[in-house]
Structure 1
Amino acid sequence: MAVRGLDRGQRPALVISECQNGITNLAYEQSPLIEQVTERGIIPRIDVLAGAFRAAGLPVIHVTIAAPPGFVGFRVNCALAARIAKQGKLVTGTPYAAVHDDLPLHDGDRVLERMHGMAPFTGTELDAVLRGHDVDTVVLAGVSTNIALPGAATEAVALGYEVVLVEDCTAGGTAESHQAQISLHLPLLATITHGAAVTAALGSE
């Protein structure tokens, strides 16, 4: 079955949101979101999906959030930012801020780090990097379907990209919130599909 956004010769990139040890790895931290990441088994699926993008010669981009040491300049302007600052672990250069240990980086992968905001485009090079790769469609994976992924989809649409969200490669804070987002809200912005369909579509590129 064709995947809308990948069905007319569009050039996609895989954008993996906030799959960092301190956010998604049970070996480093515990949280309801990490429980969902673990229960849904999204990290191994994302690794497989990233391999399919690399095999097709397409970009794999990790977008992460990390603050400077001491959180100097990290603006606390919402409850989630306050929580990150209070925990004090997502510091650039630390294992907590690094990409998940089970998502090994390969030559050509990009990691775009930001210290402000809860979505990946504003204040980062993401748009410029995507345009440099002649990307038409942003394929989203990672966390979370509560905040970062809806934000990423909204920003991507505003910048003129088509968006595909790989549902079995994503998780939210709870099973209920994830289901609400992928059934009610995200379909207004993105094509909701699964990893096997995206991999099959890449094979026909």
Structure 2
Amino acid sequence: MAADARLLAQVDPATTVLLTVECQQGVVGTDSALPELAMAAQESGALSNVARLVAAAHGSGVQVMHALAVRRPDSRGASRNARLFRAAERLPVQQVVGTAAARIAAPIAVSEDDLVVRRLHGLSPLAGTDVDALLRNLGCRTVVITGVSANVAIPNAVFDAVNAGYVAVVPEDAIAGVPAAYVPALVRHSLALVATVTRTDDVMACWEGPQRPTESGGVSPVRGGK
């Protein structure tokens, strides 16, 4: 599959970070505290597409960063200023640091080169966390945003990335939310206004190997060496 020239320029491995958002066992795994969301992530293929993108990033030198939402055992510092936070305190599975629920979920493979950022508060993977500083130190210009949920954390990540000066790329088949019908509406009416909306296969085509321009203005893989 030939890569799109515009997308290829945006997701250059040298200046791109793949961000997975809350892809942890207690959120999208088999023992999720949010079974409806976990089912949506699995049945839509979003979780497997995140795993495919992570594998492609590992193979092409793209930095992978995992943003996790966790709690201390005593919940010290956790946000309580919204219904969502108060409801989370009553869930049967808690995303406590060091427990299975707070680990990255299968089938996503974690490399020793991946960066993992854990937040104890708030709605956004970027605001008030180490993510922005790490992105800048990595020389990042584009953030490919994947994971859950399309209801809260994903739009927060996209808007905060754009506000911080990054190009946001969203593979729409690698995000999930509930109900499922809400996701395409969010993408069309909100995310597409500020981010490059694409699909997993299109991003992977950009990371499969060296590319060269074609006469038609597109790009195709370079064969027979670098």
Q: TM-score, normalised by structure 2?
A: 0.85
- 1:3, 1:191 within 8 Å by CA — same for their partners in 2? no
Which of 137, 150, 153 in structure 1 is aligned with 2:158? 153
What's the offset of the Cα at 1:177? 1.1
Superposed, 1:48-59 pairs within 5 Å as 48-59=52-63
Superposed, 1:82-101 pairs within 5 Å as 82-87=86-91, 89-101=94-106
Superposed, 1:102-121 pairs within 5 Å as 102-121=107-126
Q: Deviation string for 1:71-95 (max 9, x for gaps)?
A: 1221201111112222261111111
Q: Deviation string for 1:36-68 (max 9, x for gaps)?
A: 112112222211111111111111011010011
Once residues 192 and 200 of structure 1 are traced to their aligned partners in structure 2, the CA distance between those partners, rounded to angstroms, is: 15
Which of 25, 28, 31 in structure 2 is aligned with 1:24? 28
Farther-moved stretch of structure 1 (162-171 vs 94-103): 94-103
What's the offset of the Cα at 1:204? 4.2
Once residues 139 and 39 of structure 1 are traced to their aligned partners in structure 2, the CA distance between those partners, rounded to angstroms, is: 22
- 1:66, 1:113 within 8 Å by CA — same for their partners in 2? yes
What SS class does the counterpart of residue 198 from structure 1 fall into? Answer: helix
Farther-moved stretch of structure 1 (74-83 vs 62-71): 74-83
What residue number does 1:71 align with?
A: 75
Once residues 9 and 18 of structure 1 are traced to their aligned partners in structure 2, the CA distance between those partners, rounded to angstroms, is: 22
What SS class does the counterpart of residue 134 from structure 1 fall into? Answer: coil
Once residues 86 and 166 of structure 2 are traced to their aligned partners in structure 1, the CA distance between those partners, rounded to angstroms, is: 31
Kindly name which structure, 1 or 2, has the bigger radius of gyration based on alpha carbons: 2
- When the two structures are aligned, how many residues end up with a matched partner? 205
Runs of 4+ residues over 6 Å off in structure 1: none
Once residues 171 and 180 of structure 1 are traced to their aligned partners in structure 2, the CA distance between those partners, rounded to angstroms, is: 12
Amino acid of the residue matched to residue 82 of structure 2? Answer: C
What residue number does 1:169 align with?
A: 174
Once residues 142 and 54 of structure 1 are traced to their aligned partners in structure 2, the CA distance between those partners, rounded to angstroms, is: 17
What residue number does 2:134 align with?
A: 129
Q: TM-score, normalised by structure 1?
A: 0.93
Once residues 168 and 70 of structure 1 are traced to their aligned partners in structure 2, the CA distance between those partners, rounded to angstroms, is: 36
Q: Unmatched 5+ residue regions in structure 2?
A: 212-226
Q: Are 1:44 and 2:48 an aligned pair?
A: yes
Q: Unmatched 5+ residue regions in structure 1?
A: none
Q: Against the structure 1 CA distance between its residues 8 and 35, is the aligned structure 2 distance closer, same or farther, given a 3 Å change threshold?
A: closer
Q: Against the structure 1 CA distance between its residues 51 and 78, is the aligned structure 2 distance closer, same or farther, given a 3 Å change threshold?
A: same
Provide the identity percentage: 31
What's the offset of the Cα at 1:136? 0.5
What residue number does 2:196 align with?
A: 191
Q: Give RMSD over aligned pairs.
A: 1.8
Q: Are 1:141 and 2:146 an aligned pair?
A: yes
